[in-house]
Structure 1
Amino acid sequence: MDSATEKHCSELVARERSGHTALVEGNVMYVWGGYVSIADDEVFLPNDEIWLFDLESGVWEMCTMSGEVPSPMSGICGCSMNGDMYIFGGCDDSGQTNQLYCVNLLDGKFTWSKVNHRTGSPPSPRDKLSCWVFNGRLIYFGGYGHKQLDEINNNRSFLMDESSWAEDIYWGWNNEVHMFDPTSARWCEPHTSGHSPEPRAAHASATLGNKGYIYGGRIRECRTSDIHCLDLESWTWSEIVPVSPVPLGRSWHTLTAISDSALFLFGGLSIECKPMSDGWVLDVETQKWREIEHPYMNKPRLWHTACQGKDSDVIVFGGSCDFILLVDKGHCNDALVFQMKPYSLFRICEDYIAKNVKNCKMLQKQLPYMPAKLLPAVQKRITYFQTSSKKCNVNK
């Protein structure tokens, strides 16, 4: 890293937050934005810093950002493509936005640039939307935002929030599909066919092959449990109707691809406004849900992020363990690692050494003789388990 790096030590941890964005490039998770609740105020976190979490060592690093820096905000939709992080929408001090920004994550400079379109029209301002990345394009779905009265075409694509309007401006949920091509800087709204989902926000999405999936979300006062699939080549919607058992309806959850045919659902806010900690795997080929056991049943999360890491691990970061609209606490900053498949023999050996070297004199003596290419990786894992152990002791 260059002079953009502010701090780097094993004791540094990203601040707790909700409504942020996070993604993984290589073995690093990048975290930006979000907010915390202080008394009756929602305080957006600094917009000129990005947090890096080394998935191998468990070490956090904070880097400063420059350029055309977006406003501090939450509810943004973030994704990565070719080493660039794109963020769209979100809510800042002025309300929902419809601006698109980009920053390269790999050059160490972290310089933001505002992405201006040459043709087409961007979506109306919104937050709590989702996106898919496919064939070099960014495809956005849904969200909650506002439109002018003359922009509302029909109630099938925009469901008005009857409790919120001002003069000719109306707020509500939508089920629109918008696509942005970074190469041509063009926005368009593909014509879709099939049975489209109802307008919604605070849902979750994931991409598998040429298909984009969405699950749940909020529609007016209802939190749903439906799952829909959009073919990103033919633009055809289809609804998946799995057999029981199925997860409960929810919003502010996450959906993560863990293989070519499976999606992992975690957490969210239930219909009864209770934070959830259950985990489910959907096999999209058999269309069957399976609830899984995991070590974080006592750590409910909502409005968190989830990223696929090494060996199909899913890394959940941040979010809230309480209903954030009713309390002024409950934001989290721990990284929960879900093992989604058996580890390779190499990973098992690597982790065994890292976990036990502190208490095994034989391993301590043998460590310096490890192959030069292997030693740094093992040392990172040693740091990871030592850091994890310290956190566990602090939380006891």
Structure 2
Amino acid sequence: MPPGGSRSRSWRQVKANALPPGVSVGDQVPGPRSGAASVVVGNKLFMFGGYGGSGRLDDFWEFDFESRIWKEVHCQGPSPGVRENNGVVEYKGSLYLFGGYNGSQWLNDFHGFHIETRTWRKVEPAGAPPVSRFGYVAVVHSHYFCLFGGYDGTTWLNDMHRFNFDTSLWEEVNTSGQIPSIRSCPSWCKDGDNVYVFGGYDGVQRMNDFYRCDLETMTWAQIPGIGDVPTPRYFHSCAVHNGSMYVFGGYNGSDRLCDFFEHNFDTGTWTELEPHGDLPTGRSSLVAQVHGNSLFIFGGYNGQVVLNDFYEWRFQPLLVPPPTLQEDMRKLVNNRELSDVTFIVDGFPVYASRVHLALRSEHFRAMLYGGMRESEKGAEIEIKDVSHAVFLKLLEYLYTDTLSDVTANQAVHLLVASEQYLLARLKTLCEEAIRTSITVDTVCTIFLLAHKHNAEGLKEIALDFVLDNMEGVKDTAGFLELKQEPDLLMEIIFRQAS
């Protein structure tokens, strides 16, 4: 094994821990199944129904990721009944289950399960529900349960519907863009406002096309296949983790697959992974869910028997939390409790830390540690020629090395302050913020400002804009101001002549 370990690319079989006293061995692990519905809520994996090899199931299980214990869920209320390949989602403490196939008919009933009270209820929606189907895409977005596509027993579909949890109303959604063709049993996952759909079957062929739907605008877009694109398949699994989507297994029409792929959302590239360890056999119609730093898969069908084995794949040996330095430092801006120096700006106190300001600015180092009156402990230092809002932005930069939510007008005043406090990088950031606001009406004012404060890069950009838009610029009030700066007028004339 290489240094650092290939454990980040290793499967291992999950063994359920021993159950507490009084729980029978028969309750320890769910029986074999394919096409079960599953969802992760907190530290629990919930799994309902599926196909057990001789018939459809309606049993309900939960797996505790911390204790590694399976437990059958004993419920109150009317069970949804046996079914497979149905979608289950979670919304505000309840699970919701729509449709599926019970072995003799395709369904479009809708059921809710309250997690805390362990109670099922049939949801009676307003309006007509979608037609019966299984093998569809199901996600929650905002206060909607959204579904796409599937198979109704005679027809493959690509319609989209959503259920409003607030009004209990179903409605068909008119989507736009590059809408996927009809299909059932693709894989899907949700990341932010987007749902991603890969592959599926349309009654004739298996597919490996890839789509994204923005659930805010209901707009579809096809994603180009770059890199090691998975071969066409359906009944495969899909999960999202840390900026990537992972696809495992499925059925290609002749074989149950055990290949494993990653699609990186940032690069748009597919990569085939080469994991080690206790490799799962090829399978379709499996449960796949992410919890913490791992992908878990359960059961499925290998072409001969229905399975109930359980595997874990760790994404990396240790999950390093994202850095928080900038946000932590931003909390020091005007923080009275953690300050040791007070400035008075526009009559308001502004609190800061001496050591941070001195480390980041020669101007503040001379002020606070140079033996002047301002270096005395407890002294209140009055700041002139800088507004309160601009001074706070100045402190934000000194603590975090970044600027956030700066308007073009603030950037103008901050540029002046950056020159006063000898902050070259801040000056450049302000120039960039101002550059994006250049228009025919503002360019001459910005040109003057850049000249006055030695912002050479901004000045050059403003001058180019003036030359490119001279017909419109010469009629503005700002152009008249240039008469007070004959040197700048001559610079424009000479540049235009050349």
Structure 1 partner of 2:295: 314
Q: For 1:229 and 1:251, locate their aligned partners in 2 and report how far apart those are by CA, in whole Å.
A: 17
Give 1:112's match in structure 2, choosing from 112, 116, 120.
Answer: 120
RMSD: 2.0
Of the three residues 35, 44, 59, the one matched with 1:28 is 44
The answer to whether the aligner puts 1:218 opposite 2:201 as a matched pair is yes
What SS does the aligned partner of 2:282 have? coil
The offset of 1:319, in angstroms, is: 0.7
Contact 1:257-1:308 within 8 A present in 2 as well:
yes
**Could you tell me how far apart the structure 1 residues matched to 2:86 and 2:143 are?**
20
> Aligned equivalents of 1:257 and 1:26: distance in 2?
16
- The question of 1:92 aligning with 2:102 is answered yes
| CA distance in structure 2 between the aligned counterparts of 1:276 and 1:291, rounded to whole angstroms | 13
Correspondence for 1:276: 257
* Residues 181 and 266 (structure 1), Cα distance of their counterparts in 2 relative to 1, 3 Å cut: same
Please name the residue that 1:64 is paired with: 74
For the 8 Å contact 2:161–2:172, the answer to whether it is kept is: yes
Say if 1:10 and 1:60, in contact at 8 Å, map to a contact too: no
The 5 A counterparts of 1:190-269 are 190-259=173-242, 261-269=243-251
The alpha carbon displacement at 1:8 in A equals 6.0
Q: Distance in 2 between matches of 1:256 and 1:15?
A: 23
| Match of residue 37 from structure 1 | 53
In 1, Cα distance between the equivalents of 2:291 and 2:280? Answer: 22
Which deviates more from structure 2 when the two are superposed, residues 60-69 or residues 337-346? 337-346
Q: Secondary structure at the match of 2:28?
A: coil
Inter-partner Cα distance in structure 2 for 1:8 and 1:84: 28
Cα distance in structure 2, aligned partners of 1:195 and 1:77: 24
Shift of 1:83: 2.4
For residues 170-217 of structure 1, give each alpha carbon's deviation from its aligned partner in whole angstroms, at most 9, with x where no partner exists.
x11000110111111011112111110110001111111111110000
| 58-67 vs 10-19, greater mean Cα deviation | 10-19
Contact 1:9 1:60 in 2 (8 A): no
Q: Deviations over 1:38-93 (max 9, x none)?
A: 3xxxx122x2x421112123221112222121121111111122221111110114
Query: In 1, are the aligned partners of 2:27 and 2:71 still within 8 Å (CA)?
Result: no
Decide whether the 8 Å contact of 1:277 with 1:296 is kept in 2.
no
Q: Secondary structure at the match of 2:208?
A: strand
Letter in 2 for 1:19: G
Runs of at least 5 residues in structure 2 that lack an aligned partner in the other structure: 1-21, 322-498
Partners of 2:239 and 2:121 in 1: how far apart?
A: 28
What is the CA–CA distance in structure 2 between the aligned matches of 1:254 and 1:298, rounded to whole Å? Answer: 13
For 2:155, what is the secondary structure of its paired residue?
Answer: strand
| Structure-2 change in CA distance of 1:240 and 1:104 (3 Å) | same
Q: For residues 225 and 155 of structure 2, what CA distance do their matches in structure 1 show?
A: 29
In structure 1, what is the Cα distance between the partners aligned to 2:92 and 2:274?
Answer: 34
Superposed, 1:163-174 pairs within 5 Å as 171-174=154-157
Q: Which amino acid aligns with 1:141?
A: F
Measure the CA separation in 2 of the matches of 1:59 and 1:53: 6
**Of 333-342 and 137-146, the range deviating more from structure 2:** 333-342
Query: C-alpha distance in 2, partners of 1:331/1:309?
Result: 24
For 1:309, give the aligned amino acid. H
**Given residue 75 of structure 2, which amino acid in structure 1 is its aligned partner?**
M
1:144-155 to 2 correspondence within 5 Å? Answer: 144-146=151-153
Equivalent position of 2:167 in the other structure = 184
1: CA distance, partners of 2:280 / 2:34: 18
Greater shift, 337-346 or 59-68, is seen at 337-346
> Which residue identity lines up with residue 250 of structure 1 in the other structure?
R
Greater helix share, structure number: 2
- Picking from 287, 310, 321, the partner of 2:268 is 287
CA offset digits 1:143-194 (Å, max 9, x no partner): 0005xxxxxxxxxxxxxxxxxxxxxxxx110001101111110111121111
Larger Rg computed on CA atoms: 2
Counterpart-to-counterpart distance in 2, 1:180 and 1:82 = 14
Q: Is 1:80 the counterpart of 2:90 in the alignment?
A: yes
Check the 8 A contact 1:7/1:62 in 2, yes or no.
Answer: no
From the two aligned structures, give the one with the greater strand fraction.
1
Whole-angstrom distance in 2 between the partners of 1:52 and 1:288: 35
**For residue 241 of structure 1, what is the amino acid of its counterpart?**
P
Whole-Å Cα distance in 2 between the matches of residues 51 and 285 of structure 1?
36
Paired with 1:70 and 1:7, the residues of 2 have a C-alpha distance of 25
For residue 81 of structure 2, what is the amino acid of its counterpart?
S
Mapped to 1, the partners of 2:232 and 2:279 lie a distance apart of: 18
Number of equivalent positions: 299
* Offset of residue 264 of structure 1: 0.8
**SS of corresponding position for 2:272:** strand
SS of the aligned residue for 1:98 comes to: strand
**Shift in CA distance, 296/265, structure 1 to aligned 2, threshold 3 Å:** farther
- Separation (CA, whole Å) in 1 of partners of 2:260 and 2:76: 38
Question: Matched residues in 1 for 2:230 and 2:44: separation?
Answer: 31
Distance in 2, matches of 1:82 and 1:190, equals 23
Q: Which consecutive segments of 4 or more residues in structure 1 shift more than 6 A?
A: none
Q: Which has the higher contact order (CA 8 A, sep 6+)?
A: 1
TM-score by length of 1: 0.72
> CA 1:341–1:127 in structure 2 vs 1: closer, same or farther (change >3 Å)?
same
Measure the CA separation in 2 of the matches of 1:116 and 1:21: 21
Q: Report SS of the residue matched to 2:90.
A: strand
Partner amino acid for 2:121? S
- Structure 1 residues without counterparts, runs of 5 or longer: 1-5, 147-170, 323-328, 347-396
- Write the deviation string for residues 257-286 of structure 1: whole angstroms up to 9, x where unpaired: 112x2111111001x420011111111222
